[in-house]
Amino acid sequence: MFFELREYRTKPGQRENWVRYMEEKIIPFQSSKGMVIVGSFTSPEEDDLYVWIRRFEDESDKERLYEAVYESDIWKNEIAPKIPEMMDREKMVVRRIEPTSKSVFR
C-alpha cells in the first residue's frame, strides 16, 4: 500500500471555489470509480494551498484507477476543462509516500 500526496496552488481568490469543486465534483467522481481519497486539507497560513491524499493498494491498482478516472469522457469533457481557471498546474507537486511501520495509516 502507498499514498499519493498531491499539493496544489490555486489561482488568486480561487481557493474557496476550488475546494467546492473538489468536494462536489472531483472527489465524488473519483470515488465512484474506486479511488480512495483519504483526506483533503487547506492551510490557514497559505491562502492558495490545497492538499489531498489518495491511497492505492499497489502500482497496478493505481494504473487501473488512473485509467478509469482520467481516460473517461466525463473527466475529459466535463471536469478537466474547468480546472485551469482555478488551479495553477505549474505549481502542482505530487509525491508518492509510504506509511512507516508505526503509522496509523498502515
Tens of pLDDT along 7-29?
999 999 999 999 999 999 999 99
Q: What's the confidence (pLDDT) of residue 43?
A: 96
Question: Residue 27 and residue 8: Cα distance in Å, rounded?
Answer: 15
- Percent of the chain having pLDDT more than 70? 100
**pLDDT per residue over 37-85, tens digit each?**
999 999 999 999 999 999 999 999 999 999 999 999 999 999 999 999 9
Between CA 104 and CA 41 the distance in angstroms is 18
Write down the H helix ranges in the chain: 15-21, 27-32, 59-70, 73-74
pLDDT at 99: 95
Q: What domains are there in the chain, each with its CATH number? A: 2-97 (3.30.70.100)
Q: Which residue has the cell 509516500?
A: 97
* pTM, entire model: 0.93
Q: How confident is the model at residue 105 (pLDDT cuts 50, 70, 90)?
A: confident
What does pLDDT average to over the chain?
A: 97
Residue 72's pLDDT is 98
